[in-house]
Structures are given as C-alpha cells and as structure tokens.
Amino acid sequence: MNTMSTNLRQKLRELNKQKEEFDVDNQNIDMHKNYSTTPVQLKKTSINQLILHPKSLNINNQDITLTPEEFHRREQEFNNDMQRECGQDAQWKKIQQNTFTRWANERLKLVNRHINNLQTDLSDGLNLIALIEILVNKKLPRYNQRPQFRSQKLENVSVVLDYLENIEKKRLVNIDALDIVDGNMKLILGLMWTLILHYSITLPAWEIPNEKRETIQNLKPKQKLMNWLQAKLPTQINIGNFTSDWNDGRAIGAVLNSCYPGLFPNWADRDPKNALENAKEAMDLAERWLGIPQLIQPHEMINPQVDEQSMMTYLSQYPNAQLQPGAPIKPKNYANQVHCYGSGLDRTGHIVDKPVIFHIETCAAGLGKVDVIVVNPNGQTEECLIEFREDINRTYDCVFYPTIDGEYKIIVTFNEQEVRNSPFLINVALPEPTPDLLVNDEVDAPGNEITPSDIEQPFYENFNPTNAIVYDRQETTDIKITNLDEEGDDLILEEDHIYYAHVSYFKILSFLTQ
C-alpha cells in the first residue's frame, strides 16, 4: 500500500512538472488558463489549441495573434531563454549550490562527514540528520542508521522535516521527503537556505546601539546584515546590495579592515580593475586571521552573476569573527581611518563665545585613544570637551568655546597620531555689533573717562553696570568693568583705540566709540 501511494505521488509530481514547464512568471505568460485540461493533456495539446485559438496567448496583459509559424518560432525562443535563465548550468545557481555545500561541510566536519554532491548526498537522510543535530545541538529521534531501501531513506528525511516543523517551528514550504530523496535541486537549495537563514545569519546584540535595538531587531535578516555592513564600512564605500556592489573586491577588504584595523590597511588604494586579486587577498586574510572559511570563492564573488544568498551566507560570518593570536594589527598606525565631520570644522562661520561643535568617528580605526588640542591665535590652548557617544560608529562629540577672534587650530589625534586632514583651521570672528550696542561719542585722547553718569538705562529699574564688557578691537582683548557703580571707580580708555561695548541685560544709549 505504501509503495502504491508513493508511486502515485511520484506520477502526480511528474505530471505537475510537465505543467510547470508552461508556467512562466517572469514574462507573465499564461498558456493554459483558458483550458480545462489535465497537465498531460496540456503538454500534448497546448500548441494545437493555441494555433486554433491564437488570442489565448497573453503576453504582458496583451492579447497577441500569432500564425502557426510565428508561434513555433516564439516557443523555441522562449524555451531557449528559459534554459539560459533556469538551466542547470546557470552561473548563479552553480554559485549557490557550491556555497551551500561548503556551508554544510564546514559544520559536518565536526562529525567527520562530507558532502560531495548536494543533490545526491542528502538522499538517505544521514548527512541531513547529522547537520541538523549540529545546528540544534540535540539528538534527533530514532532513525535508520543504515538505510538500504527507499522507504527507509524517506523515513529518515521525514524525521528531519518533522523535527524542523514541529519542534524548531521552522516553516517549510512545498517540500517533503520525496523531494530530498529524489534530488529535487531547487527544493534542496530552498531547504538549505532556510537552515542558513535561521541558524547562521544572526547578529550579536552588542553590535546594535541601545536606542536602535528594538527597531533593528524587528528587521528581516537581510536588512539586519545590510545595516551592520553599512555601519562598519567607511563613507567612501557605498554598499546597497549583496551582488554587484562587491564585484571589484574592494568592499570585502574594507569590511575586513573595519572589523580589525590593520588586517587590510591599503584596501582603499586597490585598483578596482584587479578585482580577483583584491577579493582573493582580503578573503585569504580573513580566513587566516579571523577563521572565516571561504564559503564563496573569490572568482565567484567578482562574477557579475554572483548569487545574493551566497554572498549573505559568506558575509554573515563577519559579525561573530574572532581575531586569531598573532594577527598583524596595529591600531595606532591607522589614524587615517578616523573620520572627523561637523559644522565646527568649517573654515568660517564661527563667533567668539559661541560653541564650536564637531564629531569624531572611529569605528573604522578600531579601539584607541582620541585627543583634541585647540590652539587659539595667541598660541594658547583652550579647553575642548569630549564625550563618547557609545554608538555603533564609536563616535566622540566635541565642543569648545573660542574666547578671541582670529585663526584657531584644531588638532585631532588617535593613539597619538594625527588623523586625516588634521590640523583643522577655522576662523573665529567677533559678534557683529547691533544698534543696541553702538555709541556715538568718539574717544580720541587719553584721559577720557566713562562714569556711571554716562550710561542711561531706559528699560530696567535695577541697573547693574558690572554686567558691561568693553571690547578693544585693536588689542583684541576684553576689559570687564569692575567695581563700577554710582559711587565707584572710573574706567580710563587709551588713545587711538576703537572700542565696543557689550552688555548682557540692558540697552546702551551712549557709551563708547563706534
């Protein structure tokens, strides 16, 4: 009874396979929707029926009338296109099969097992059972350890599929034991991708900033991995996919060096035309010093038809990679990987006593000490406040308040070496005088005096002249009025100097010269 049921199922699958040859999603072609035929009848009669009823051929939602000769020609062109796109020799499919096989073997080597052919070497269920036991770190229920008959092989594969669905709660779509035993390559690859997606493509929690953790955790694995890579990569590398953006071999070098600066420091100087050399050197270093096996080969990575899932499988190893002893990393030599940015580093637009704010990003340079030295026009250092943000980019927020006008020098160092573009030169200006701060009386000789009687205060009853500051434009120094009240001391100004007055809380009607 079981044999008969299996034979019927196999026959039905063959019929459905014949039917699928006429289902083409990519070109939106429906050759059989107007006919109530069985799959076998469709295989034999669809061409004649379409010749008799040519309007039944619908391409891109347009009814097209074809002569018998035109139909046969288009059918042949279609078959050729389908063979190129979905044939067994399609490049992306070969790359995917190779990658998934390597991924499985990396795990199976723990139990001295090996897969040579993914299509046939899972058919008895033993390699598949061993792989699942490694992934879940548990023993599976009883199975046939020496399957000889087809029924025993089907039982073994069923043990795996039942365990994944019922115990691991993994959703398996349109696949059963028959697919694995009979070597349905498309569905075998689908099963392997499900395993990779659930058991390999994960991110450690510490890689995600606290403020973004809840949002990022809700993303799909593909977007999680892309976010991690984009956060790691320096700004000059623009990655938006898992295929063509990796073809020149430079991006994988940038990822390697961003994880552990010094492993591939000259990735930015590599010629994109030497794609194979770039990818091979970076991947060899990753395998040697980070223990990252080459699940995809360098020549496959640079292939324009590289498979997205294969690239994700390989790249998903980097977040958890651990540095091997003796690795040639020297963070202090890679200060040029530090990125400084912010309006505070603009050449102009800065005002005395106004905050100058900029940021230092060190994720690409690794761990190290950040120092900032601010030198004013008089050669004196001024205090700069530095605060570590503790985000994924390892950002430092910096601010200082310039005290005088003129050219300032901002020196940024990482592990005692200056970063790229340091020192940064900025110009600081005095605040522009407003009508409230101008006076009309000229001071042209020593001995002119400013007394409380010279100051009028129209808006406030309680006037406190100690709030006034006099700016000497010629000497670029500040003179704060002290001990100045109605009976206090006078302030004597110097000859041939132009003065401005700045008052915090009240309006000046007449005070000093413009």
Tell me what pLDDT residue 77 has.
56
Distance between CA 407 and CA 419 in Å, rounded?
20
β-pair partners for 477: 472
What stretch of H or E contains 14?
helix 2-20
Q: Is 103 left (phi over 0), alpha (psi -120 to 50) or beta?
A: alpha
Question: Looking up tokens 């087809």, which residue turns up?
Answer: 150
* Secondary-structure class of domain 91-180 per CATH: mainly alpha
Distance between CA 369 and CA 296 in Å, rounded?
37
Tell me what pLDDT residue 249 has.
92
205-329 and 333-429 in the same fold: no
Superfamily of domain 205-329: Calponin-like domain (1.10.418.10)
Tell me what pLDDT residue 433 has.
60
Name the pairing type of β-strands 350-351 and 424-429: parallel
Tell me what pLDDT residue 83 has.
52
pLDDT beneath 50: ranges in the chain: 1-5, 18-63, 71, 84-85, 87-88, 205-206, 209-212, 331-332, 434-514
Alpha helices in 21-141 (DSSP H): 39-52, 68-86, 91-108, 126-136
User: What are the residue boundaries of the structural domains of the chain, listed by start?
Assistant: 2-84, 91-180, 205-329, 333-429, 435-503
Tell me what pLDDT residue 79 has.
54
Q: Among 183, 155, 182, 186, which residue's Cα sits nearest to residue 173?
A: 186
Spatial contact of 445 and 494, defined as CB atoms under 8 Å apart: no
Handedness of CA 112, 117, 122, 123 (dihedral sign): negative
- Work out the burial of residue 333: count CB atoms within 10 Å of its CB; fewer than 13 is exposed, 13-18 middle, 19 or more buried: middle
Q: Tens digits of per-residue pLDDT, 196-244?
A: 988 888 655 435 544 445 555 567 888 888 988 888 887 778 899 999 9
CATH code for the domain defined by 333-429: 2.60.40.10
